[in-house]
Amino acid sequence: MQMLKERIRKDGKIMAGNVLKVDSFLNHQMDTDLFLELGKEFRRRFADVEINKILTIEASGIGIACVVAQSFHVPVVFAKKTKTKNIAGDVYTSTVESYTHGRVYDIIVSREFLGKGDKVLLIDDFLANGKALEGLAALVEESGAELAGAGIVIEKGFQVGGNLIRSRGIRLESLAIVESMDEKTGTIVFRGDEA
C-alpha cells in the first residue's frame, strides 16, 4: 500500500536491533484518518471472504482494529494479556512470547465472545516473529471459530513470522512488508520495490 510505505519512509525511525519505530502515527500516537484508509484496503483485500468478527491483541492492535472494523461493520474482540477481576474463569487461553517486551505472557479471550459460527479476521500492527499472531490463531482454533485470515499493517519480511504464518496455510495480507532497513543510511526497502 503506497500511502503507508510513504508514511513509514517519512515518519518511521530505524533504531538499533532492527527496531522500526513508527510510534508517531501507528502505535503510541495514532493517526486514525490513516487507520480508516488501512481499513478500506483490508476490506478490499478480503472482499471475497466472509468475516463477522475481528480479533486483535492489546494494546497497540486495538485502535487499528476498531477503526478497521468500520469498513467491515463487525464487532472487535481483543485478547487480554493479563487476567483481570472482571473476567470469569471461562476463557480461551494461549501463551505468547513477546519480542518487544522480552517476556512470556498468557493471552485470554472470554468464551462468550468467540466460538463456532464466527469467521474471524486477525488484525495487528506488526508481524515480526509471528508469536502474537500464532497465539491469536490458537485461540480461534480452540474456540471452534473459523480463521478467515490475518491483516497486518507492517510485516518485517526479514524475520520469520510471515513465512511461519503463511506455511501454516493462514491467509496473510500485510500492507507493507519491510524487506530490509539500514540504520546508518535510514533507508528502507519494501518487498516489491527492490531493483
Residues that bind its own copies (CB under 8 A): 15, 19, 21, 23-25, 28-33, 35-36, 58-59, 62-67, 69-70, 73, 75-78, 80-82, 84-87, 100-102, 109-110, 112-113
468475516: which residue's cell?
51
**Residue 24 beta carbon to its own copies: minimum distance, rounded to whole angstroms:** 7
Nearer to its own copies by Cβ, of 89 and 169: the residue is 89
Give the Cβ contact number of residue 167 at 10 Å.
9
Nearer to its own copies by Cβ, of 5 and 80: the residue is 80
Give the dihedral of Cα atoms 93, 94, 95, 101; nearest 10 deg: -80
Q: How many angstroms separate the CA atoms of 163 and 160, rounded?
A: 6
**Residue 190 beta carbon to its own copies: minimum distance, rounded to whole angstroms:** 21
Farthest-apart Cα atoms in the chain, separation: 54
Nearer to its own copies by Cβ, of 12 and 172: the residue is 12
**Residue 128 beta carbon to its own copies: minimum distance, rounded to whole angstroms:** 12
**Residue 125 beta carbon to its own copies: minimum distance, rounded to whole angstroms:** 11
Nearer to its own copies by Cβ, of 101 and 166: the residue is 101
**Residue 191 beta carbon to its own copies: minimum distance, rounded to whole angstroms:** 23
Report whether 139 contacts 92 (CB < 8 A).
yes
Label residue 76 exposed, middle or buried (CB < 10 Å: 0-12, 13-18, 19+): buried
Nearer to its own copies by Cβ, of 6 and 112: the residue is 112
Q: How many angstroms separate the CA atoms of 150 and 30, rounded?
A: 21
Nearer to its own copies by Cβ, of 9 and 105: the residue is 105
**Backbone phi and psi for residue 59, each to the nearest 5 degrees, phi listed first:** -100, -40
**Residue 166 beta carbon to its own copies: minimum distance, rounded to whole angstroms:** 26
The string of DSSP codes covering 121-189 is: EEEEEEESSSHHHHHHHHHHHHHT-EEEEEEEEEEETTSSHHHHHHHTT--EEEEEEEEEE-TTT--EE
